[in-house]
Amino acid sequence: MTTRGIELEQSLGFQLKLLQVEADARAREALSPFDITPARVSALMMIKSNPGCTQTALGDALSVNRASAMKIVNYLEGRGFVERQTSADPRANALQLTDSGRTELDAMTRALHTCDQETLDRLSASEAEILLRLIHKLRTAA
């Protein structure tokens, strides 16, 4: 099956989707020793970068709603990676990584980094740098 034709070759959304599906599958594989999905590790990373954040904020950052964010936090709490601490606003939870969560996340991050590198090795070093920079620019210029 080819992707010949100007539509497919030059469709940003389509190429992005195919690449992301492949990257997700590779990440899932790389994370299999930890028995956790890439999406849940993303949540851990977000909490690490934004200690004390609320579940609603976490959901916004991950593009899911409050109810879905809650399920993710339930899971991470069940694994002992995240704690719900009390916050200034008693309605909200302040999310924090546990010591175990921090340690495990470090190992997961190393596994994902190796996985990323295997993909980026298809490009030259300067191309890889440019790609990451452009993707990040697209995201933050929103």
Give the footprint of DNA on this chain (CB under 7 A): 37, 39, 54-56, 62-73, 84, 89-93
CB of 79 to DNA, least distance (A): 13
Cβ-based nearer residue to DNA, 58 or 105: 58
| Residue 70 contact among DNA, its own copies, none, beta carbon within 5 to 8 Å by kind | DNA
69, amino acid identity: A
- Which residue, 54, 42, 46, 104, is CA-closest to 79? 104
Strands (DSSP E) found in the chain = 82-86, 93-97
Task: Pick one of DNA, its own copies, none as the site partner of residue 107 (Cβ within 5 to 8 A by kind).
Answer: none
Beta-carbon contacts of residue 55 (< 8 Å; ≥ 6 apart): 66, 69, 70, 73, 92, 93, 95
- Over the window 77 to 106, marking each residue x when it contacts its own copies by CB under 8 A and - when it does not, the resulting string is ------------------------------
Give the position of tokens 């959304």: 13
Q: How far is the CB of 37 from DNA (least distance, A)?
A: 4
